[in-house]
Amino acid sequence: MTARIQASSSVPVRQSSVRAHNLALVLQTVATSENPISRAFTAAATGLTRATVSALVDDLIAGGLLVERDPAPRSGAGRPAAGLALAPDGAYGLGLEINVDYLAACVVDLSGQVRHRVVTYADQRLGSWETALTRLAELAAFPGASGAALAVPGLVSADGIVRVAPNLGWQNIDAATVLSEALGMPVAVDNEANLAALSELRAAGGRPTFGYVSGEIGIGAGLVLDGALYRGVRGWSGEIGHLPVHPDGRACRCGARGCLEQYAGQEALLRAAGVAALADLPDDADLGEAGAALGIALAGVVNLLDLDTIVLGGIYGPLLPRLLPGIERELRQRVLTFDLAPITLRAAALGADAAMRGAAESVIRSVLDDPAAFLGRA
């Protein structure tokens, strides 16, 4: 068992980075264990020496990330070992979401458990962006979070500026700075489909490759390739709502014609069914056009990226059984490798909470990935 260090890295391996690496390794070994595990077992599982593991464990306990619990009493010879576990209150991640018709916040702990969740419904297009962010900060007041992340339906720059959120009417809003000042902690900002995809990634485990498609008034996608979120050159990947599915077709708000959003977005679905709200959608509403449009777009995505799994979230989760026939007909006809390998289509595991859960988990993930940095800050 040897570490795969990237040989193309342009820098040498130093002791401090070896310690940081092994600190993360020990923490993640405990985190992924179903039950508390001993220091000896941690050493065996990681391949590190017991002395090294003990020193690292002591640091993680002192930093509040691990706890060591007395073992359950048992019969038989020998002294049972104490068990290591993630500290229940070691670190909290605050997840925030702003969408067209609601604000939401949740807090998850180190183990990914939701400790707090609040959603308030109101049309965010009616007020200013300042009002929306102020309300969100009030909603999210939760002591002790290590950091926060905000999910928005739009294009976000690497510096946390929302460049365009068309359905909110936002342009160039520095949400990261405003919220981090209001909350007194670092706040990352990201596209909602990206964060929802990260949440699905965490739920799936391993190094999966899948596309997460989030149906709302707009349609976004988060691409998880080889176990990591693919963001694109500027962080603007996943604009699947503007894939041309009928290039000479309906005019789109974006200025083009025939975008997927005009055939499978929430407003197109409601228009086709002749109702004003999703709750009014009759059970026998014809979703054939939306399914076919999704199928055409997804066939392009699969041909291009060789995905084997598509996860459908947002409004598509509950509607999936009725969208599937249209999607599958197009995939069967258009995906070059359809007969060679299966494609799995499934509803998102976390439903409507996926984006804010993904936001909160991204904070926790950064602690688990780099506990040395977390301990250094504490």
Residues numbered 303 to 332 that lie near its own copies (CB under 8 A) are: 303-308
CB of 237 to its own copies, least distance (A): 4
Return the amino acid letter for 281.
L
Non-local CB neighbours of 101 within 8 Å, separated by 6+ positions: 121, 122, 123, 124
Task: Please pick, from the candidates 294, 301, 355, 364, the single residue that binds its own copies as defined by CB under 8 A.
Answer: 301
Contact between 1 and its own copies by CB under 8 A: the answer reads yes
Contact between 344 and its own copies by CB under 8 A: the answer reads no
Contact between 64 and its own copies by CB under 8 A: the answer reads no
Task: Please pick, from the candidates 44, 119, 256, 349, the single residue that binds its own copies as defined by CB under 8 A.
Answer: 256
Task: Please pick, from the candidates 36, 83, 153, 300, the single residue that binds its own copies as defined by CB under 8 A.
Answer: 300
d(CA 369, CA 267): 40
Interface map 88-127 toward its own copies (x if CB under 8 A): ----------------------------------------
Strands 210-215 and 309-314: parallel
Non-local CB neighbours of 225 within 8 Å, separated by 6+ positions: 209, 305
CB of 323 to its own copies, least distance (A): 17
Interface map 264-283 toward its own copies (x if CB under 8 A): --------------------
Contact between 3 and its own copies by CB under 8 A: the answer reads yes
- For Cα atoms 43, 44, 50, give the angle at the middle one, nearest 5 degrees: 30
Task: Please pick, from the candidates 114, 334, 347, 349, the single residue that binds its own copies as defined by CB under 8 A.
Answer: 334
Residue with tokens 């289509």: 345
Using CB under 8 A, count the residues that bind its own copies: 76
Strands 83-86 and 92-99: unpaired
Q: Which is nearer to its own copies, 1 or 279 (CB)?
A: 1
Non-local CB neighbours of 45 within 8 Å, separated by 6+ positions: 29, 33, 37
CB of 154 to its own copies, least distance (A): 10
d(CA 250, CA 289): 13
Alpha helices in the chain (DSSP H): 15-31, 39-46, 50-62, 129-139, 175-183, 192-204, 261-264, 266-273, 288-305, 316-334, 354-369, 371-377
Q: Which is nearer to its own copies, 106 or 326 (CB)?
A: 326
Phi, psi of 84 (to 5 degrees): -90, 140
| β partners of residue 150 | 96, 189
Using the contact rule CB under 8 A, the part of the chain among 80-88, 197-205, 265-273, 335-343 near its own copies is 335-343
d(CA 146, CA 189): 15
Contact between 46 and its own copies by CB under 8 A: the answer reads yes
Contact between 86 and its own copies by CB under 8 A: the answer reads no
Q: Which is nearer to its own copies, 137 or 243 (CB)?
A: 243
Non-local CB neighbours of 28 within 8 Å, separated by 6+ positions: 368
8 Å CB contact between 160 and 176: yes
Restricted to residues 133-152, the positions that interact with its own copies (CB under 8 A) are none
Contact between 235 and its own copies by CB under 8 A: the answer reads yes
Task: Please pick, from the candidates 84, 196, 240, 345, the single residue that binds its own copies as defined by CB under 8 A.
Answer: 240
Q: Which is nearer to its own copies, 198 or 243 (CB)?
A: 243
Restricted to residues 165-224, the positions that interact with its own copies (CB under 8 A) are 209, 221, 223
